[in-house]
Chain A
Amino acid sequence: EDKVVQSPLSLVVHEGDTVTLNCSYEVTNFRSLLWYKQEKKAPTFLFMLTSSGIEKKSGRLSSILDKKELFSILNITATQTGDSAVYLCAVEGGSGNTGKLIFGQGTTLQVKP
């Protein structure tokens, strides 16, 4: 059975801290791994990763994929209260070009002032 597991499930830090969120997966015919940020409404897209070892960066956020060990990490440096959200990891895979994403449970990040 295909699955995506995120850890930790929740995290509380103070502004300025650096955090690392983890996502491991077991998905047949892996095609890509995506990270989303969800505040109070719909998830918004952060990154898509398809190749091992190539870091994607956007401001204070960065992510990397290890296809050998089947995991990805999302790093947030110098955290701000606006980073408080649920971070979702999703993997596209399975048979055919379905575009279906298998989501992890999410990591709830709270950044305190």
Chain B
Amino acid sequence: DADVTQTPRNRITKTGKRIMLECSQTKGHDRMYWYRQDPGLGLQLIYYSFDVKDINKGEISDGYSVSRQAQAKFSLSLESAIPNQTALYFCATSDPGTVTGELFFGEGSRLTVL
């Protein structure tokens, strides 16, 4: 089983619909992140959370909201989806105590907004 699990893996929706992408992790990490990936733009940080009571905006938070329901769960919502939110979304976790500082990514959620 994956350590960082995202659902759904693929979703097609229409403009104006509310969408939620969910992320759960079994790594026991406090830090969780949501990134968006578009072709040619790398990964851009949407929101990040250091613990259940700590939520922070990233580079491109407009049009998105998040909820940290528990240490292991971090969900991303699009209140009213628009076509330019079509992208591949990644959830990630990290442990500030590790030497490498690496992020551990989920498998990604591909969202298409028509």
A residues with a Cβ closer than 8 A to B are 4, 6, 9, 31-32, 34, 41-45, 48, 88, 90, 92, 97-106
Contact = CB atoms under 8 A, between A and B. Distances in A.
B101 A42 contact: no
A100 B96 contact: no
A88 B103 CA distance: 12
B87 interface: no
B6 to A, nearest CB: 9
A46 to B, nearest CB: 9
B91 to A, nearest CB: 9
B33 to A, nearest CB: 8
A100 B48 contact: yes
Interface stretch (B62-70, B73-81, B105-113): B105-113
A39 B107 CA distance: 11
Contact of B94 (A41, A43, A99): A99
For chain B, which range describes its interface: under 10, 10 to 19, 20 to 34, or 35 or more residues?
20 to 34
Contacts of A92: 101
12 contacts: A34-B100, A44-B105, A88-B43, A98-B56, A99-B96, A99-B101, A100-B33, A102-B45, A103-B35, A103-B44, A105-B40, A105-B41
B29 to A, nearest CB: 10
B42 A42 contact: no
B83 interface: no
A47 to B, nearest CB: 9
A9 B40 CA distance: 8
Contacts of B4: 42
Contacts of B108: 41-42
A105 B40 CA distance: 5
A103 B96 CA distance: 18
Nearest to B38: A105
Contacts of B28: none
